[in-house]
Structure formats: C-alpha cells, structure tokens
Structure 1
Amino acid sequence: MGELIVIRHGQTEWSLSGRHAGRTDVPLTEAGEAQARSLAGRLARRRPVAVFSSPLSRALRTAELADLTGVKPDPDLVEWDYGGYEGLTAAQIRETSPGWDLWRDGVGPGGADRPGETLQQVAARTDAVLDRIRPLLADGDVAVVAHGHLARVLTTRWLGLNASASRLLGHPHPGTLSFLATEDGQPVIAAWNVP
C-alpha cells in the first residue's frame, strides 16, 4: 500500500507575515518558488500514481514547480474559509476577540463571498478527499498539494481522530512534505513537516 504525501504549498507574502489566506489567491514569493522546485528531486523517487491539488494558484504552481504530472485540481482541498478573518493575523483577531483560538472558536462571518466555515465543514471536505484517495493507495503513493490548516485537518481525519485534534499537530511550514501511512493496518504519521 502506498503512502499519502501531503505537500504544503510554497511561501507566499501572507504565509510569511502570518496572515490567514483561505480563499484569497495569493501567489508564491520567489522563495516559495524555490521551495517548490526543491521538492522535485524528493518527489521524483516516489512517482505518485495520482496527484490532487487545491485549485488555488499557490498550490497549483507548487505542484508545477515540483514537477508533478497529471495534477487534478480538487475544490475540497482549498484552505479553510476564514470568513471575516481572511487576511488578518492571529494577533489582529485577538485585538477584538481576546484569547481567540481557531480550533476552539472558529472564524467570524464574512461577506456573501466568504461566509466562513466551521471546523466540521472543513473536516467533511477532507473526509471526502480521503474517501476518493484511499482506493488509489492500493496502486502506490498519492500526493496532495494543499494548505497548512487543511493539511492538519486532513491528517487528523486520516488518523480517525476528531478534527479538533488538529491543534495537536504543528503547523506545516511552506514547501514541506508530510507522509501518512499505515502500520499493521492502522493509520499513522510516517513523517511530519519535512523540509
């Protein structure tokens, strides 16, 4: 059985400054493009049988620069809809919501184009992705190119945990790899946040 390779897109100006970039299509920085290119060698040895990506340009560009082929955009891999918190840093959010924690408190509502999502809605999307990917793992590795918070939720759901356990995983850095596998028939994290 193959492994699920979870790739966080390369650096953007917003990831560099700590701004929540959910649905805003922020491009990669030069450093982010270099991070993505550096993934190509490590991923070439794996030769995934299928590759899925968030449809946002920062993820698709990461896949392209990492020399992944046959990439299928999957709208369920887009980052959390942060609603009214889109573009804000955690410090800015805490100015009006002291003690705010994404995993406990969720997001504030935004406009009609960004209503915000609950953790349960994000988990439902990652569950749908995993349902599509699991059968493919019988043929080899599968790669997904996605975003930081979504990758954490995807991982906890892979492990069969409640999505709120996502807070226990460190935030994957831009341009890193994580490997989800099975051991004795049980889901495990084989590696996390590998530069």
Structure 2
Amino acid sequence: MNDMSEKGGVHIWLIRHGETEWSKSGQHTGTTDVPLTDEGRKQAAALAPVLAAQRFDLVLTSPMGRAIETCRLAGLGEGAQVEPELHEWNYGVYEGRKTPDIRQEIPDWSVWTSPIPQGENLADIGRRAQALIDKLIATNATNIALFSHAHFSRVFGAQWATGSPALGAHLAMDTAAMSVLGFEREVRAILKWNLLP
C-alpha cells in the first residue's frame, strides 16, 4: 500500500495566491476570477527565491487565474498541472459579499457554521479536501506544491492534520503565504503555517 505515512519525508506546500482587490477588501471570492493586483504580483514574485530552494515532484494549481498567475510568478508555472479540486469555496449567494455586511442581515453568520445557499458548506469542502489528500497519497510524489486559496487551504490543512475540516476556522492565512504539511514521526502534522517570504 502506497501510504504517505510510510514516507516521513513527504512535504505538501500550500501556497495561497497573491492579493486581489477582493481579498484586500474582505469580499468572499470563490467562483469570480478576480485578477492579482500589482501588489499581489509582487507578493507572488517574492515567493520565487524560497520555492526555488525546493525540488518539487508535483506542482498543482487551482483553475482560477489568480492562483495560476501566482504559480507562474513564483517560478513554478512550467510543468504545473491544473487541479479542479483546489478551487476556492463556492460561497453561493454570498459571493462578493463581506462578512460584516452579511451579519447585518444574519447576526452571527459564519462561513464555517452557517448554511451557504447555492454554494458549498464546511462538510462539502472537507470532503473535497479529503478527496485531494487521497489522490496525493496515491502518487509517488514526496515534495508537492499546491497553489490555492485561503479558505480551501485552511480546510485542507485541518483535514490533513485532524481528519476534520473544523480546525480550519482557527488557521489564518495571508495572501501569498506558504504553509507546509508533513509528518511528525508517523503522525500527520502542520509543520509550518502562514509563512511569508
């Protein structure tokens, strides 16, 4: 059985895309393909020296332009494959809206605990993250880069470490931040979180 727990050297790098106008303003950005700002492009390029020091067996990116461009500017665009499971949370009716605005209508609303009409809920994202983890386990890759989005990456990290997506609510992630998942002995662990170059 090809299980990553047998390969203590496995590292999965989660890399969030650079700044966009909507990430800057706090708008939920799931299915809308908002481009990187000039600052976002600078942030992405700043990742290049750190990532160049690694040798990745597998580079996957969300299908969204902001992730693909971050991957390219970070120096890993050549050979990168688009992975549909890496797309951001589908926020349904809340797409493009800010949490404080939503809470004027629905007090205590949270993407982590509230229904998301016409979109995905936390359990949906957890299943999607687990499906991708299972897919990665089935490969022989030991050093993997995933270019994705804040909420999905937070759920992925939580799912990897605990088997439950709920921890993601407590894992903040800045634009163009890097996190590293792997093993502590044989136990899945978050090795580094929210690193900036």
TM above 0.5, one fold? Answer: yes
Runs (5+) with no aligned partner, structure 2? 1-8
Letter in 1 for 2:165: A
Whether 1:102 and 2:105 are equivalent positions in the alignment is no
Classify 1:128/1:161 alpha carbon distance in 2 versus 1 (closer, same or farther; 3 Å): closer
Letter in 2 for 1:181: G
Letter in 2 for 1:156: A
Displacement after TM superposition at 1:5 (Å): 0.2
Counterpart of 2:75 in structure 1 is 67
Checking the alignment, whether the CA contact within 8 Å between 2:112 and 2:121 is kept in structure 1 is no
Counterpart of 1:161 in structure 2 is 163
Displacement after TM superposition at 1:33 (Å): 0.4
Whether 1:149 and 2:157 are equivalent positions in the alignment is no
Checking the alignment, whether the CA contact within 8 Å between 1:177 and 1:194 is kept in structure 2 is yes
Listed one character per residue, the Cα deviations across residues 1-34 of structure 1 (whole Å, up to 9, x for unaligned) are 2200000000000000000000100000000000
Cα distance in 1, alignment partners of residues 166 and 141 from structure 2: 31
Whether 1:48 and 2:52 are equivalent positions in the alignment is no
Checking the alignment, whether the CA contact within 8 Å between 2:62 and 2:86 is kept in structure 1 is yes
TM-score by length of 2: 0.91
Counterpart of 1:112 in structure 2 is none
Cα distance in 1, alignment partners of residues 123 and 108 from structure 2: 21
Checking the alignment, whether the CA contact within 8 Å between 1:55 and 1:74 is kept in structure 2 is yes
Checking the alignment, whether the CA contact within 8 Å between 2:58 and 2:141 is kept in structure 1 is no
Displacement after TM superposition at 1:139 (Å): 4.2
Cα distance in 2, alignment partners of residues 140 and 187 from structure 1: 14
Whether 1:116 and 2:119 are equivalent positions in the alignment is yes
Checking the alignment, whether the CA contact within 8 Å between 1:20 and 1:82 is kept in structure 2 is yes
Checking the alignment, whether the CA contact within 8 Å between 1:104 and 1:164 is kept in structure 2 is no
Letter in 1 for 2:93: G
Counterpart of 2:3 in structure 1 is none
Listed one character per residue, the Cα deviations across residues 43-71 of structure 1 (whole Å, up to 9, x for unaligned) are 01112110111100000000000010311
Displacement after TM superposition at 1:160 (Å): 2.8
TM-score by length of 1: 0.92
